[in-house]
Structure 1
Amino acid sequence: MKVYLGDMPVELTGKRPKNGSKWKEDFQLTPVLNTDSKFPNLRRRRGVFFISTLPNVRSFACSTQVLDLELEIKKRKISAKIIHLASDGKDSWNEIKKLHPQLKAHGYSLKDCDQNEINILKTMLGVGVVSSNRLAHGLFVIKDGMIISSLIPKQQYGTPNIKRFLNKLQSSKHFHKIGKFTL
């Protein structure tokens, strides 16, 4: 898949997963935000999970994605857990923790994890940047082990349009089965 960083084309590994496809793998990722627990087994976990992929958590766009996703889900009273994935190490999350201690989302790092496992994750979600350790911006919704919605913006500069993504999700048949509550 090809996306853009401004005018520059960037090739991604894998393909954006189709709605209705199953979450296929378990991952051992490093916990870095609001958890010491291992990455959840999304093949078996019940409920709704938002997965947010981030190229660089120290950037304004990525920190905005972290904050806006949680605020918008909370505002809409969507019953879900939020998980952020980034290539950055644990120290990169310090500023987000300091500036936004109210965040409930869990964050995981791909840094220092098994390279084969990282490649599987990047290909499965279609967010691996070819010839780089970074992830592209992406949003994915997993319900009871099945991907029900996904977005990999063609334009990678800036933050994904979270409101539009959630509007589309809320108008889908899957959303009415999710239910609502405040995080």
Structure 2
Amino acid sequence: MTRSVQLGDERIQLMGQLPCPGDRLTAGFAIPAARLAQEPLRASDLQDGLVVLSTLPNIQKHACLAQIVDLEERSHEQLPGLRIVHVSADHEEHWREVDRFHPNVRAAGYSLCCADEDSRESFVKAFGIGVAGHHQIAHGLFALRDGVFVAVQVPDDQMRPADVKIFLEALLTVEQAERSR
């Protein structure tokens, strides 16, 4: 299954089905650690508590750095204790730019380009963020509670980061509704 999003002047095709709130993450993958993590990211790491997974096409671009920093700053104000992980299409050395210019970012980073082909394919299909005919991935934000998707955002305009403010507001609404049950 594919769907199209805007990238500059052209439309690109994203592979995989975008998960919906209520869907359970069932994929198996191991994405190599690149920053502030010792072990690869596995689906089991997203099965405990509330976790936001951020996907990034190129962390050397402003839009990706903005997504990393904005998510870090806003989430800790609004959802203390939230766990954040970032997966980038870049090689692990590109994460050094985050360390250099944004050393206060505490979220772990993982490099999809270093994953084996089966893990890469499983990951991009599970999150619906693979770019057809390319090793790139789309900007996206995914919140999971105990392995179940509760909020998802993949922007139609891929020249911009995901809207962290709107995403976190939606996540807060879901969390408040869950607490009032």
Q: Using the alignment, how far apart are the partners of 1:64 and 1:17 within structure 2?
A: 24
Corresponding residue for residue 83 of structure 1:
85
Corresponding residue for residue 4 of structure 1:
6
Q: Using the alignment, how far apart are the partners of 2:130 and 2:121 within structure 1?
A: 8
Moved over 6 A (4+): none
Aligned residue identity for 2:105: L
SS in 2 for 1:149: strand
**Structure 1 gap ranges (5+):** 179-183
Corresponding residue for residue 137 of structure 1:
139
Change in CA separation of 1:105 and 1:61 when aligned onto 2, cut-off 3 Å: same
Answer whether contact 2:46 2:144 (CA < 8 A) is retained.
Answer: no
Residue among 91, 95, 98 paired with 2:97: 95
Aligned residue identity for 1:158: R
1:125-164 paired onto structure 2 within 5 Å: 125-164=127-166
How much has 1:175 moved relative to structure 2? 4.3
How much has 1:136 moved relative to structure 2? 0.3
Q: State the Cα RMSD in Å.
A: 1.6
Q: Using the alignment, how far apart are the partners of 2:164 and 2:83 within structure 1?
A: 16
Corresponding residue for residue 68 of structure 1:
70
How much has 1:37 moved relative to structure 2? 2.1
How much has 1:109 moved relative to structure 2? 0.6
Q: Using the alignment, how far apart are the partners of 1:5 and 1:44 within structure 2?
A: 29
Residue among 90, 110, 116 paired with 1:114: 116
SS in 2 for 1:3: strand
**Structure 2 gap ranges (5+):** none
Identity %: 28
How much has 1:17 moved relative to structure 2? 0.3
Q: Using the alignment, how far apart are the partners of 1:115 and 1:24 within structure 2?
A: 18
